[in-house]
Amino acid sequence: MVPASVGFQCPQCVAAGNATVRTARPRTLRTAGRRWGVVTLGLIALNVAMFVVTAVSAFSVGNSPADNQRSPVFVDLAQWPAGVHYLDEWWRVLTAAFLHIGPVHLAMNMLALLLFGSELERQLGWARYLAVYLASALGGAVAIQLLGDPRVVVAGASAAIYGLLGALGVLMLASRQDVRGLLTLLAINVFISFLPGISLLGHLGGLVAGALAAGVLLLLRRRPHLQVAALALLGVALLVVSLTVPTLTVLDL
């Protein structure tokens, strides 16, 4: 017999009772990955890591870590349309999507990525989701290269996040869901994009590219094995346009 709070219990009764008790399991990285999405958490980790690198780089040259945009690393990786077009610094259209100006900029974008990215990753799967994210980032880069001021340096994941919102809106419309809440959120964010220091072109370019990527997925929904390849082709096309088509804004040299 096994001593109990009142009297005794037989070993068989104790074993049966313990079998119905659920033991608490500690949260692990695998659990977080299933909840939020492995790619979403990986993108957040990459953005945070790049911010730390630029903050340390800024401090190493005598600037405050909060002024990470003054670091040599940031200067070499941010999107500078004139540098991309005239100096053939092609990598800027990609690396700029993983840079942020200050901790507030980083925190706001990463919160949005966690909320909307995890939802889209659950719907699309990690490969399609990553392809939509990168295509959206390149869509913002194309808009900045074509129509932006060649002298202005731009950075941030905002274009990719707007692309996720665009893709989510297209998928919701296709499944006949209520999109009024999403449209309201987009309207508020587009209004905010008119504020000084925010790239409206990058946001709109990412939004359009994300919606286009979702449209490609819907067109190929009966051929899922072609979806990722089609999105990759879209990304390559956007990259080629951003690197080869000259800016439409006149630059006085």
> In this structure, what CATH number is given to the domain that contains residue 119?
1.20.1540.10
> Given 85, 100, 105, 203, which residue is catalytic?
203
249 found inside a domain:
no
Instruction: Please indicate whether residue 158 is annotated as part of the active site.
Output: yes
Instruction: Please indicate whether residue 203 is annotated as part of the active site.
Output: yes
22 found inside a domain:
no
Could you give the C-alpha distances from 101 to 42, 68, 131, 170, 207, in angstroms and in order? 20, 7, 25, 30, 21
154 found inside a domain:
yes
Contact 92, 84 (CB under 8 A): yes
1 found inside a domain:
no
Main-chain phi, psi angles of 2, to 5 degrees: -115, 125
**Domain coverage including residue 116:** 32-244
What is the dihedral sign for C-alpha 110, 114, 118, 119?
negative
And the tokens for 125? 């799967």
Q: Domain count of the chain?
A: 1
* Beta bridge mates, 79: 154
d(CA 238, CA 136): 9
> Given 57, 118, 136, 158, which residue is catalytic?
158
Helix, strand, coil share (%) of the chain residues, nearest 5: 70, 0, 30
**Tens-level pLDDT at each residue, the chain (253 residues):** 545 554 545 666 656 655 554 555 555 556 655 778 999 999 999 999 999 999 999 999 999 999 999 999 999 999 999 999 888 899 999 999 999 999 999 999 999 999 999 999 999 999 999 999 999 999 999 999 999 999 999 999 999 999 999 999 999 999 899 888 888 988 888 888 888 788 899 999 999 999 999 999 999 999 988 999 999 999 999 999 988 877 666 454 4
